[in-house]
Amino acid sequence: MKFQYYLIFVLFIIFSMTACSPAVQETETSEPPTEASVEEATAAPTSEPAATPASDQEEATATPAATPPPAEEQAVQVQALTNLNLRSGPGTNYGVAGALAENAELTVIGRNEDSSWLYVETDKGDEVWLTGDPTLVTFEQALVSNLPVVEAPPLAYNASDPMVDKVLNQIPLVVHHDRNISCASHSGLNKLLPEVEEGNVMGPHAGDFVYENNNVLFKLSDGSIVLIRENPVDRFEGGAEYLPLDKALQLFESGDIVWTGDFGQPGRGVLGCDLSTP
């Protein structure tokens, strides 16, 4: 009997140990990883790029500074040293287009080939020409030399016309003073002698310039050469007291003004004025 009880007890112990064994094994065996833990484990070895410091990011994403606009070119100024005429072209054979008072300034926007005439802009926005003679105006030569060369406008007359060429470049001229006569030019209006002054009245050394059966003369007025009647009471068409040089040369070109003299004639007797006189 005791043996039976003992055997039952042993079997019970064995059965109990067998029944408890899976539980112990279960506690020792780790649970399979969850989806979240797998993601964490997978993500852990992967190294992320180091975060860019805020200041570096700002520098990397900052908009480039705008390029400053180019500095405006310095305006070139010319100042008159005396009262001067503005003209429609680069030369005294162009008509007067205005005046510039002594010490007044204008902006230079161009020039002719040798800068002897300057293309200027007036306060009203008109674009005209002014002499570049350094004895009459002052300006920065270096700045002007960088300005564009402007083509001269066509003249109002044909400079190659034989009669026009004689008036401008060939006919000896004299000044009519109150009591005497002096030489004004050995060869036309383009080569007046330095002795010719403001207000002087000039005519041919030999013969006369005749328009509508009356004599006409040239006069230096406000720096320009104009055509006047010999009789101060007479007027031109429309009551004009004088005609600008370009209009006068048109009349020579058309034959409305004629020269009654010739080269080599004794004329008004001013020795040495007509260089072709023996």
Q: What is the pLDDT of residue 221?
A: 87
pTM for the complete prediction?
Answer: 0.59
pLDDT at site 223: 73
What percent of the chain is predicted at pLDDT more than 70? 73
Does 34 or 197 have the greater pLDDT score? 197
Cα separation, 243 vs 227, whole angstroms: 5
pLDDT digits (tens, 9 = 90+) for 53-92: 555 555 545 555 666 655 556 789 999 999 888 988 998 7
Tell me the domain boundaries of the chain: 76-144, 162-259
List phi, psi (to 5°) of 277: -75, 130
Give every CB contact of residue 76 below 8 A, 6+ residues apart in sequence: 107, 108, 109, 139, 140, 143, 144, 147
Q: Is the pLDDT of residue 198 over 50?
A: yes
pLDDT of residue 27: 41
| 170 closest CA partner among 195, 188, 183, 153 | 188
Whole-number Cα distances in Å, 187 to 136, 184, 274:
24, 9, 8
Looking at residues 22-46, what average pLDDT do you find? 44
Give pLDDT tens digits for 105-131: 999 999 999 999 999 999 989 999 999
Q: Which residues, in sequence order, are bridge partners of residue 185?
A: 173
The pLDDT, as a whole number, for residue 37 is: 41
Q: Is the pLDDT of residue 218 over 90?
A: yes
Please give the pLDDT value at position 267: 87
Q: What is the pLDDT of residue 203?
A: 97
Q: Where does 76-144 sit in CATH, by number?
A: 2.30.30.40
Beta strands in the chain (DSSP E): 76-80, 84-87, 96-100, 105-111, 117-121, 127-131, 137-139, 173-176, 181-185, 201-204, 209-211, 214-221, 224-229, 242-244, 257-259
Name the average pLDDT for the chain: 82
pLDDT category at 41 given cuts 50, 70, 90 is: very low
